[in-house]
Structure 1
Amino acid sequence: MDKGSISFFEVKQCGFYSTKEHKSVYEEGSMEEIIDNFCVWVKNRDFNQTIPWDTKSHPRRAQIYCKSISQDPATKDTLLVLWKRFGDDSGKVSGISPDAKVGSDTSDSIKIDPKVKGQSAFLGQPMYYWFIPNRNVIASVNFTHSSAMTKDVCDYLKRCLDYRIDHQRKKVNESESVNPNNGAAIIRKFITYMTQDNARAMRSKFHVSTKELNSDKANAARLAQRISHIVVRDTITTQKSDEKDSFFNLWSKVKGKKTFSKHVEIIEEATLSEAEVSEIIKVHDAEYDPLDKWNNVGFREAGNDTTRWFNKYVSREQILLAPLAGDDTYYPAETVLNELIRLRDDLLIQIPSDQPAEQEDVVGEEDAA
């Protein structure tokens, strides 16, 4: 089974804001409306048309595309499968040979061809994001084959809203200048929205922060007072060195070195703060596999040689899915969302339901461009 670790993010600002006395003041809009409008915009579009800006003009900006969408009509939850692209059309993606030595020359690097079977391919990784409007949170669901970049995803959605999605009171002003270096035209767009009474200008915002679940905080405070030793079980790999005559050494070079795995257990005396225990819980949550019979992190109490494992003492936010089949590189959005909905009550037990979004007023905040 493939484990998807879930990290929650509280939505601090989502919608349209005006400015009053140097503060951003919430006017209108919601996560549900923005995600619904985004889903309408990407529907029936080609994959390479789901990025809202010109990639050649912004080569350093993270390239994000949308591959799959699923929405639950009962809860209004939405699951987006986004695609984080590596490199660009020029093939600027490379790797290092696993047999390379530290300090080796650049001949150990390998350039990856962005074409597969003669066709262009967007090399990258999927990202799974779960939007939960009635809890005012979003969540990344991170599998071994995927990644997460929450701030960039929020910026991506904001740019889709500003550049591509219609709004009845959107105003777009353009100015044109010339690049002095190459003579190319530079077009700048200034996007604003007007309030319903047409009295004030608004700007769109989509900002989140990490959502700390109360159970984890309580566990960290409680465990920090009890832990006297940390116990780490891990699996390491080693290569066997053959002490044979020259013929057998030559044969080993032809066949390759033998790699072995072995289990190790480290027990270390420790006095930990609440913050340090919280960090251990985060690392454990990211790496723990319930199907692995060895790898784990635990603790011991003073005067007690019994090891207690963290998975017994912390809340776990995760789902398990069957491994990807064959050459598949991502799960369809519907597959992930169905499992999230099945476990929804347990996964969201620490997050209040049906709470109105607390739209914060922020002083001197800069919008993501």
Structure 2
Amino acid sequence: MDKGSISFFEVQQFGFYSTKEHKAVYEEGTMESFIGSFCDWVKGRDFNQTIPWDTKAHPKRTQIYCKSISQDPITKDTLLVLWRRFGDDSGKVSGIAPDAKVGSDANDSIKIDPKVKGQSAFLGQPMYYWFIPSRNVIATINFSHSSAMTKDVCDYIKRCLDYRIDHPRKKVNESEGVNPNTSKAIIRKFITYMSQDSKRAMRSKIHVSTKELNSDKANAARLAQRISHIVVRDTISTQKSDDKDSFFNLWSKVKGKKTFSKHVEIIEEATLSESEVAEIIEVHNKEYNPLDKWNNVGFREAGNDTTRWFNKYVSREQILLEPLAENHTYYAADIILKELTRLREDLLVQIPSEESKDKDSDVGEENAA
């Protein structure tokens, strides 16, 4: 199975803001409305038309395109498969021969310029982004074949909104300037939006920060006080010995095999710090395979022979999907969103909904009163 690790980002700004005393003041707009407008804009477009700026005018800017979208009609959760392009506008990417030596010889570099239907392919990697309006968070789903660039993705969606998506109160002012990259004359656009009462100018803003999920940290602090033994289950290979008559051989009941696997369990006393437990949880989270019925890491408490396994104490911020077909390079958005929706309650258990936040706030106010 292919594991996708999920990282959450808390939304700080996602809407239209005016400025008052040098501070951004929220006016209107939501993640749901922004992403809805974006999805409407990309639907039916050619892939190379989903980038909102002129790539020749901005050769150093990371090129991002949209390949696949899926939206849940009930929760309004949206999964975007974006494409981070490698190389310049010609599609060419350079590489180094694997047997190259360290040094200044430039003859062992390689130019990659694949063609698809007579055109240079857009070489790159997929990026999977999960937008969750009801929790005010964005999440990345990272597989071994994908990448993530959250700030660039936020900038990409903002530019799509500003440059390409219609809005009834959008104001575009133009001025002449010079492109610092090409020294050519360009037209600069300054984009603002007017408030509903037409009294204030607004700017679109999308800003997120890493969402701190504390369950692993809390578990580490709690378990460090309880653990007396570490339990490791693993599988090792044993080579068959041929120096005895087969009748007396340990493995004689199994014919034709030279190498055997057997299960081992190691139990060792341990006094662990909070940071050491946190490290075990982190490594276990990366390496644990829920389909493996034996290999695992656990612990015991003093005076208790019951083994508890660390997978019960690890945050569930991951999904498992069938490996990509040999000729496929990314998952379609609906495949990922279907699995996220199936596991949604477990994945979001530590992230309160906006409704529960409001209830907590009301309780706090009542207690204060």
Q: Same fold (TM over 0.5)?
A: yes
Residue 83 (structure 1) aligns with: 83
Partner of 1:204: 204
Structure 2 SS opposite 1:216: helix
1:157 aligns with 2:191: no
Aligned residues: 329
CA–CA distance in structure 2, aligned partners of residues 94 and 309 of structure 1: 46
Shift of 1:333: 0.7
Q: In structure 1, what is the Cα distance between the partners aligned to 2:345 and 2:351?
A: 10
- The answer for unaligned runs of 5 or more in structure 1 is 236-266, 359-369
State the structure with more CA Rg: 2
Alignment of 1:89-128 (within 5 A): 89-103=89-103, 105-116=105-116, 118-128=118-128
CA deviation string 1:52-109 (max 9, x = no partner): 1111121221111000011111111111111111112334422233333444733333
Contact 2:55–2:89 (8 Å) recurs in 1: no
Partner of 1:332: 332
Q: Would the alpha carbon gap of residues 300 and 84 (structure 1) be closer, same or farther in structure 2, given more than 3 Å must change?
A: farther
Q: Give the TM-score normalised by the residue count of structure 2.
A: 0.76
Q: Tell whether the 8 Å contact from 2:57 to 2:182 is kept in structure 1 after alignment.
A: no
Alpha carbons of structure 1 residues 334 and 227: separation in structure 2 relative to 1, 3 Å: same
Partners of 2:181 and 2:99 in 1: CA distance: 44
The worse-fitting range, judged by mean Cα deviation, of 279-288 and 119-128 is 279-288
1:183-262 map, 5 Å? 184-225=184-225
2-side partners of 1:301 and 1:136: how far apart? 39
Q: For residues 243-293 of structure 1, give each alpha carbon's deviation from its aligned partner in whole angstroms, at most 9, with x where no partner exists.
A: xxxxxxxxxxxxxxxxxxxxxxxx999997656755664565345444468
Of 298-307 and 75-84, the range deviating more from structure 2: 298-307
CA displacement 1:176-235 (0-9 Å, x = unmatched): 134699762121111111111111111111111111223223113224556799999999
Output the CA distance in 2 between the equivalents of 1:352 and 1:173.
41
Structure 1 CA distance, aligned partners of 2:166 and 2:125?
Answer: 29
CA distance in structure 1 between the partners assigned to 2:87 and 2:234 by the alignment = 34
Counterpart of 1:334, as a letter, is D
Distance 2:3 2:279 in 1: 20
Partner of 1:355, secondary structure, is: helix
Letter in 2 for 1:40: D
RMSD: 3.6
2:170 corresponds to 1:170: yes
Taking structure 1 as reference, are residues 156 and 312 closer, same or farther at Cα in structure 2, changes over 3 Å only? Answer: same
Within the alignment, does 1:345 sit opposite 2:351 as a pair? Answer: no
Give, as a single letter, the amino acid of the residue that structure 2 aligns with 1:126.
Answer: P
1:183–1:80 Cα change, 3 Å:
closer
Preserved CA contact (<8 Å) 2:67 2:83: yes
Percentage of pairs with the same residue: 83
Quote the residue 1:24 is aligned against: 24
Q: 1:136, 1:356 within 8 Å by CA — same for their partners in 2?
A: no
**Alignment correspondent of 1:36:** 36
Give the equivalent residue in structure 2 for 1:138: 138
**Cα distance change on mapping 1:312 and 1:103 into 2, 3 Å:** farther
SS in structure 2 of the partner of residue 206 of structure 1:
strand
Contact 1:89 1:114 in 2 (8 A): no
Give the Cα separation in 2 of the matches to 1:180 and 1:15.
30
- Report the counterpart of residue 63 of structure 2 in structure 1: 63
Flag structure 2 segments of 5+ consecutive residues without an equivalent.
Answer: 236-266, 359-369
* 1:80 aligned counterpart, secondary structure: strand
SS at 2:355 equivalent: coil
For 1:311, the equivalent position in structure 2 comes to: 311
Q: Looking at both structures, which has the greater relative contact order when contacts are Cα pairs under 8 Å and sequence separation is at least 6?
A: 1
The SS at the match of 2:82 is strand
- TM-score with structure 1 setting the length: 0.76
After superposition, give the CA deviation of every residue in 1:294-349 in whole Å (9 maximum; x if it has no partner).
Answer: 98777898999999764342122111111112301111111111111111111111
